[in-house]
Amino acid sequence: MQNREIASMLEEIGMMLSLDERPTARFEVRAYQKAALTVSTLQEPIEDIFNKGGNRALMELPGIGKGIAESISEYLKTGTMSKYENLKKKYPSKFMELSRIEGLGPKKIQALYSELGIKDIKGLAKAISKHEIAELPGFGEKSEEVIAKGLSMLEKSKGRILLGEALPLAESLASQLMKSGLIDKVIIAGSIRRMRETSGDIDLLALSDHGEEIMDRFVKLPEVEEVVVKGQTKTTVSLKAGVTCDLRVIPKSSFGAAVQYFTGSRDHNIQVRTIAIERGYKLNEYGLFGKNGKLIEAEDEKVIYSKLGMDWISPEMRESRGEVKLAQEHKLPELVKISDIKGDLHTHTKETDGADTIDDMAAAAISIGREYIATTNHTKSLFIAKGMNDRQFKEFFKTVDSLNERLDGSFTVLKGAEVDILKDGSLDLEKETLSSMDCVIASVHQNLKMDRESMTNRIVKAIDTGLVHILGHPTGRELLIRDPYLIDLESVFEAAERNLTALEINAQPSRLDLNDTNIASAAQYKIMFSIGTDAHRTTHLEFMRYGVGTARRGWLPKEQIINAMPLKALKRWLAK
């Protein structure tokens, strides 16, 4: 899969072109940026597209025409892209690396090179330590300081945090702002609202008439590390958590447009804006404007979509994956909601690597409105997690039985395991033990570095035992830490379909596995899904919302989710 590499080269070409003096260069910059975006968001390997249909197929992609298609095919065939190489001779800096530092764009990066010979972060760090930056024309004390901060920020966090960290943080900031009493409403916008798995920044929008006072309070919140930019309508701070946070104060009349605009994604907005133009409107973050240029006041973004002849689109769907067309045709799917969730089929207890007892887990689940959970401890091969053997499961299930008796049907604990899929594809417990359980999750935890074919065979073999109700975290990735293991998901989906095995959407913030696009691919098959928190303590049961968000990003309705079923129906399904 060379998508990321090619997207990054196109992006960098764009940056280098922005140093070009020709008056049309800035439009070429946009063209390359757009092409880079297209390639980076492709759902399939670009080499597959090229192999199937050549340059012509590449040119079908939005923003890719004759020139860029040729560059891409040249790269796929020869491993180099002459357009890129030529520009690189002129501008040797590592633009992609350096531009990740807040406050550094193409022009400044080039100035650093031509004045000081700085090409990369290493060189930059050196120059900062010698205080050489402040002396440069166009730079100064302040800019050196900003760059130094940006550098340490980048090193600290790599600039992105998990949804499971970003959302609570944003909620905390929002509620503190609300407490000021100066704000009518505050919305968490941006990628967090779309429930993206990681976020590079936090976008807050406040409806208020007291811009200045709010900004004063905002920059003093305890989560704030430093003020980057402070104005009356927009303030940017960097947070101790390692990301930046933008707060915008917006008047009532354009609040709806602002919410729409800052929720994104960029591609989705481009599509919506195009529709606005077609219908004689103009849409930007300040509002929807009619033919006469007059602002159509809207406090709610629903007004905007409706004026444009579209149904309101859930933020999780706004990724330019066909949702705009469906909204125009009034055919949007009804997505699963957190309130549809009846139970949690992936939980652990202190018998293995969990922190709490089954009684505590059940009580916690009851308190957040669940009707059932499955207790699914690890199995013996997972030594580090104190995995249990067949006998230990039998013992433990006696405890579960007595708990269920006490609960007397008001709540049910299903008996299960998260059984390890061993290296050869066999399962880590006896067949009799497994078939006696209500709910068996099978997962890969060890020997992750297999080649694609072996890993695929291993997992397919496990599913084909017919003993597996749910395939746990099917790709094994750990966000920001570890890539998925090599696996042919299509074969796994086929196996899941023929064995009536559900695929898990693991709701742990560091997993979210399957991810949104995998879910969308899997949903093409007759497959059910289970959103499980993988809770290792009572508080983890709250992770469900991240799993639901991910399911929504994969466009799933509640009918495809087994833990949205009432207990009776679920038991029937599991028995099959």
Partner DNA sequence: GCCGTTTTCGGCCCGACTGTTTTCAGTCG
Judged by the rule CB under 7 A, the positions of this chain that interact with DNA are: 24, 27-28, 30-32, 34-35, 59, 61-69, 83, 99, 101-109, 134, 137-144, 146, 201, 203, 229-234, 244, 246, 262, 284
Angle at 539 between CA 534 and CA 541, to 5 degrees: 40
- Could you tell me the smallest distance in angstroms from the CB atom of residue 347 to DNA? 38
CB of 117 to DNA, least distance (A): 17
- Closest approach of Cβ 300 to DNA, in Å? 21
Rg (CA), the chain: 26
Closest to DNA by CB, 228 or 429: 228
Phi, psi of 473, deg, nearest 5: 15, 80
* 144 or 344: CB nearest DNA: 144
- Residue closer to DNA by CB (options 154, 450) is 154
Closest alpha carbon to 177 in 249, 237, 231, 242: 249
Tokens of 272: 């919506």
Are the C-beta atoms of 308 and 302 separated by less than 8 Å? Answer: no
Q: Looking at beta carbons only, is 60 or 395 nearer to DNA?
A: 60
Closest by CA position to 255, among listed 208, 322, 314? 208
Question: Which is closer to DNA, CB of 31 or CB of 429?
Answer: 31
Looking only at the bridges linking them, the beta strands covering 470-471 and 502-506 are parallel
Residues 18, 107 contacting (CB under 8 angstroms)? yes
Q: Which is nearer to DNA, 264 or 549 (CB)?
A: 264
Minimum separation from the CB atom of position 544 to DNA (A): 29
For DNA, the closer CB: 106 or 343:
106
For the stretch 414-436, what's the b/e string if a residue is b when 16 or more beta carbons lie within 10 angstroms of its beta carbon?
A: bbbbbbbbbeebebbbeeebbee
Q: How long, in residues, is the chain? A: 576
CB 387 within 8 A of CB 349: no
Task: Give whichever of 59 and 363 is closer to DNA, judged by the CB atom.
Answer: 59
In the complex, minimum distance from the CB of residue 250 to DNA, in angstroms, rounded to a whole number: 11
User: Which one, 273 or 386, has the nearer CB to DNA?
Assistant: 273
Beta bridge partners of 442: 419, 471
Residue 540 makes CB contacts below 8 A (sequence gap 6+) with: 508, 533, 534
Beta bridge partners of 441: 418, 470
**Contact partners, residue 95, CB within 8 Å, separation at least 6:** 12, 15, 16, 106, 109
DSSP 496-554: HHHHTPEEEEE--TTT-BS-HHHHHHHTTSS--EEEE--BSSGGGGGGHHHHHHHHHHT
One-letter amino acid at 32 equals: Y
Q: How far is the CB of 302 from DNA (least distance, A)?
A: 22
Classified as helix, coil or strand, 225 is: strand
Q: Which residue has the tokens 């024309």?
A: 137
**Minimum distance, C-beta of residue 283 to DNA, in the bound complex (Å):** 10
Q: What single-letter amino acid sits at 416? A: G
The CB density around residue 498, as the number of other CB atoms within 10 Å, is: 12
As measured in angstroms, the least distance from the Cβ of 129 to DNA is: 18
Q: At what angle do helices 121-129 and 106-116 cross, to 10 degrees?
A: 70
Work out the angle between the directed axes of helices 3-17 and 82-90 (0-180°, nearest 10).
40
In whole angstroms, the minimum distance from the beta carbon of 467 to DNA comes to: 49
C-alpha torsion sign, points 156, 161, 164, 167 = positive
Output the smallest distance, CB 207 to DNA, in A. Answer: 16
DSSP state of 160: -
Q: Whose Cβ is closer to DNA: residue 69's or residue 427's?
A: 69
Nearer CB in complex with DNA: 214/556? 214
- Coil, strand or helix at 417: strand
Q: Taking the complex as a whole, how short is the minimal distance between the CB of residue 174 and DNA, in angstroms?
A: 17
Q: Give min distance, CB of 167 to DNA, in A.
A: 18
Query: Looking at beta carbons only, is 201 or 267 nearer to DNA?
Result: 201
Instruction: CB nearer to DNA: give 65 or 466.
Output: 65
Q: How far is CA 461 from the centre of its chain?
A: 30
Cβ 311 to DNA shortest distance, Å: 22
Nearest residue to 346 via CA among 541, 518, 497: 541
- Minimum Å gap between C-beta 220 and DNA is 15
- Which residue carries 């990724």 as its tokens? 319
Shorter beta-carbon distance to DNA: residue 238 or 433: 238
